[in-house]
Structure 1
């Protein structure tokens, strides 16, 4: 009997949080096609399951990711045969499909190269270990970032984005915090704990409201006027939910509220 290969991405449910762990430690979590597909399937699961409210993405070992496994990916990329999003999956970078509809909190450490930065840019809250090193070094490999860096990095500031995209130079966690790529920098070894705490805070809120707020913020990036026009109808719809009534009762009685997503 043929044994099944070890997963590149490990998925674990923690109540309403889906923990998604990159696990190719011997390759510094460099992504081959199989890892990309397994990650896409995990995002698809997060999106579909109504009991899941937040994704928590992290990596096993000392490094978040060494970027692409070019030995596996480059020939397929050149031939146009690279398949990132299998049936049932969602592109974690939101380039080849819509983005996941639920928030994603990311914890990074060690080396975080290329697609790791792009995953941070596609996530909603990022916590970095203070020793993390970043680099968007595709130009040094003769290609361009294709996971969304050219789409999202400039939103943080044109000059900062071009400084790092066009040189491929490495930068540290302090610089990542300064330019807004990460939201918190913590002592190495505590990044996952802190990211899990933030994911828990998000999961404790009204899930329909969280998803609506996320969708509104995303819609406002390309067209603030269209997003603004949708705010009152969305708020009216949310005000009629049971979770909104639970929140109102909690406010009046002073008792904690347990949101149920309806």
Structure 2
């Protein structure tokens, strides 16, 4: 589904992958209310369409995002905070109690500030161009990270490395992002999208229900602890074993053919 040029977000389908692009390059993809709302709708499309199995988020232009467009966003912060989700949308940062059931791959390049890092932290796999420069700079603007960095950054990088960057507002490069675990792969500039799409497509080839079950169990362990995740393992296995995809997977194994999963 391609959207008009006036949109801040563009989407298209590559097989079972929903490709979601930040499309405000003239502003270094700074996020205003329109972009945030449209991004929430794109995430809802990914979640709600059974034909879609994986999301790939990228950015048009030289930069992933310069962060929030504060001139547009700051006046919108009310007594209850900031509402960034359009009606029917899903919070891409997933800090409101709702969780996406499908995996998301992120491909970044150039400047990637604040909510860009938080979008990475809320996703599952990140590919970064060597050109990437990251900054969790909210404290330099008199606010705190409110898209999940205070929760997920220490978990991903360890307490000291997370605080090193959150509390100083300093910027860091792709090599450091890779070292501390924010990024899974670093590639030459210009290759991040194709590598991200390759990873997303590889995930989309797997049994969708199994991918979602594995993702859900890992998230349960993070949010609720090992015991809660352990209690779900056998019931999840029983449900998957009864699926048509399980039969397809077993037949593919026995016949040495590539499985073509149906998602049921």
**TM-score, length of structure 2 as denominator length:** 0.96
Q: Deviations over 1:229-255 (max 9, x none)?
A: 110110111001010001111111111
- Paired with 1:207 and 1:81, the residues of 2 have a C-alpha distance of 36
- Paired with 2:258 and 2:116, the residues of 1 have a C-alpha distance of 38
Match of 1:230 among 221, 229, 232: 232
Q: Deviations over 1:34-64 (max 9, x none)?
A: 1000000000010000000000000000000
- 1:97 shift after superposition: 4.5
Residue of structure 2 in register with 1:219 after alignment? 220
Contact 1:85 1:96 in 2 (8 A): no
Residue of structure 2 in register with 1:36 after alignment? 36
- Paired with 1:166 and 1:105, the residues of 2 have a C-alpha distance of 27
- Paired with 1:142 and 1:44, the residues of 2 have a C-alpha distance of 31
- Paired with 2:213 and 2:87, the residues of 1 have a C-alpha distance of 26
- Paired with 1:185 and 1:254, the residues of 2 have a C-alpha distance of 33
Q: Secondary structure at the match of 2:183?
A: coil
Residue of structure 2 in register with 1:59 after alignment? 59
- Paired with 2:213 and 2:110, the residues of 1 have a C-alpha distance of 34
Moved over 4 A (4+): 78-81
Residue of structure 1 in register with 2:19 after alignment? 19
Query: Runs of 5+ in structure 1 lacking a partner?
Result: none
Residue of structure 1 in register with 2:179 after alignment? 178
- Paired with 2:153 and 2:231, the residues of 1 have a C-alpha distance of 27
Q: Secondary structure at the match of 1:221?
A: helix
**TM-score, length of structure 1 as denominator length:** 0.96
Residue of structure 2 in register with 1:247 after alignment? 249
Contact 1:135 1:164 in 2 (8 A): yes
Q: Deviations over 1:218-238 (max 9, x none)?
A: 000131110011101101110
Please show how residues 17-166 of structure 1 align to structure 2 within 5 Å: 17-78=17-78, 80=80, 82-156=82-156, 157-166=158-167
Q: Deviations over 1:103-143 (max 9, x none)?
A: 00000000000000000000000000011000000000000
- Paired with 1:13 and 1:191, the residues of 2 have a C-alpha distance of 18
1:169 aligns with 2:167: no
Q: Deviations over 1:120-174 (max 9, x none)?
A: 0000000000110000000000000000000100102000100000000000000
- 1:94 shift after superposition: 0.2
Deviates more, 1:79-88 or 1:55-64: 79-88
Contact 1:91 1:97 in 2 (8 A): no
- 1:78 shift after superposition: 4.8
C-alpha distance 192-260 of structure 1, shift in aligned 2 (>3 A)? same
